[in-house]
Amino acid sequence: MKNFLGKISKLLSCGLVFALVLMTFGCKKNENDESTTLGAAKKDYDIFIYNSNANIGSDFRKMCDEYTAKTGVIIRTVTPSDEVNNFDNLKDYLASEYPPDIFTVSNMEDLKVLKENSQVWDFSNATEESFKEAVNNIPENLRLSSNTTDNFGVPYSVEGFGMLIDPKMVASLFGGDKYRLVLNDLKECSYEEFSEFINAFNLYINSESLAEFTLNGNSYTFVSNRGEMSKNLNGAFSFPAGNAKYVGNYLMNIPLASLFTSPAAANISNESQINNFKNIFMKFTDALESITLNMSGPNGPLGRGSEFVSNTQNSTSQAMKNFVGGKALFLIASTEDYNDLSMFDLSVAKRSVFIPIKMPISNEDVSSSESIAKNINKSITAYVPNYYCINANSSAKEKKAAQDFLTWVQTSDVAKRYIISEFELTPYDSKEGVAIENALSRSLIEYMTESRILPPVFQGAPSTWDDVSSKYIIEQFFTKGTWSYEDHEKIAGYLMLKWKELR
């Protein structure tokens, strides 16, 4: 009897486990129906879109449904979760029985792989006139191109980076009647004038000495008494120095833009151009030394050393806290930082504006273009984090449908409403006055409207160059209190040789 009951118990247990397994797989299938199924039982749609942005999956689906209601074109969408959203996942979809007709690409290295596999379509082969017109209007420096002549992507959105400053802090330092003039002159001033301003700023916060200085040809002094807003200032700059992105992308892009007009131009760089690195990056190291000698910290000025690159003393969060807490005058940041800044202080995030990252690069040093030469110290960098691409292996009918959809995304009021209000992204062709909540994006748009934008050349650097170079600078020099002339030469020489080695 005991053995019989034991067998029954085991059978019941196995049955329960089997039932739970069926329930689990049933739930998972329903929950992830649009996001994890590689193939489809049959092709019951007109175009298939692989959307890589997990933050907008449901809203992207709604936008596509509106397109279907308007046109009758049936769209299948897939939005993978963050856990599986990588380039290998996209490659699996492209190798499936029914691959996507539209997909997103984020960098030059992925584009190279797709191009080598003949999986991405060059828009020079476009067949629809409205689509041709739309892609031809994309600025060269924001195109997804491998050689400056081809074009594979429609910008998903635009982001930018520079130095943030709080206008209210400027009013506290100069008086409410002058802060707008100062902000404008900080945008326009030369590197030499900016350096003079930083020297006067240090005197002011350390000893309250008042020194006259010039910005954009106009003379200024600080107010005689530090107010409540500025009393905690302990350094000019704040950024997480141990984070390779800030050195490799945000700071090194300025000298790169003096050499190349676009990521594609950097991607096909020749020996002669690379040999010009030494001079430009020697000037970069001068600016880098000045910035890192004038850093704000949580408890006072932050000197180079172990704490300088520490994730506790100088993390991304701590750098933001220094800025919103009135300890740092400038924060090196991007438009993507708006939400994080808002969590620390919504008022500061809403009123902050970008100032260009200044470097001692003169017009004569710039070989990329006359426009960049004229505005190298008056511009901030704009970049595209993702592009819509079309599958080269889709049929002519599917390619036509894909072109029509992407034209609609670029030109229709409905799509713009989704992109701006629901996705909370910034269209690359935005103009001043557009109702975008992100104040940092609005500041970026002002520079775009004025054509004061540097190309995101860092995106065309050899694979891992920016990361490897940044880590070299961080590990070897950010932990070192003083730099010699030889140290400047070592940094500049390393950046040049590493580019040659990795390209």
Closest CA to 274 of 462, 90, 102: 462
Closest CA to 239 of 191, 295, 195, 198: 295
Q: What is the pLDDT of residue 78?
A: 95
d(CA 75, CA 66): 10
CA angle 297, 298, 301 (to 5 degrees): 30
Q: What is the pLDDT of residue 435?
A: 87
Confidence of residue 432 (pLDDT cuts 50, 70, 90): confident
Q: Which helix (H) or strand (E) holds 49?
A: strand 47-50
Confidence of residue 433 (pLDDT cuts 50, 70, 90): confident
Q: Which 8-state DSSP code applies to residue 395?
A: -
Q: What is the DSSP secondary-structure string of 347-375?
A: HHHHH-EEEPPP-S--GGG--S-HHHHHH
Q: What is the pLDDT of residue 27?
A: 32
Calculate mean pLDDT across residues 478-491.
Answer: 97
CB 160 within 8 A of CB 354: yes
User: Which tens digits make up the pLDDT trace of 341-370?
Assistant: 999 999 999 999 999 999 999 999 999 999
Name 402's Cβ contacts closer than 8 Å, sequence gap at least 6: 47, 101, 102, 390, 391, 394
d(CA 157, CA 144): 13
Confidence of residue 40 (pLDDT cuts 50, 70, 90): low
Map out the domains of the chain with their CATH numbers.
Answer: 34-157+385-422 (3.40.190.10), 160-383+439-502 (3.40.190.10)
Name 324's Cβ contacts closer than 8 Å, sequence gap at least 6: 341, 344, 345, 348, 349
Alpha helices per DSSP H over 248-311: 253-257, 263-267, 271-274, 277-292
d(CA 59, CA 266): 36
Confidence of residue 34 (pLDDT cuts 50, 70, 90): low
CB 390 within 8 A of CB 131: no
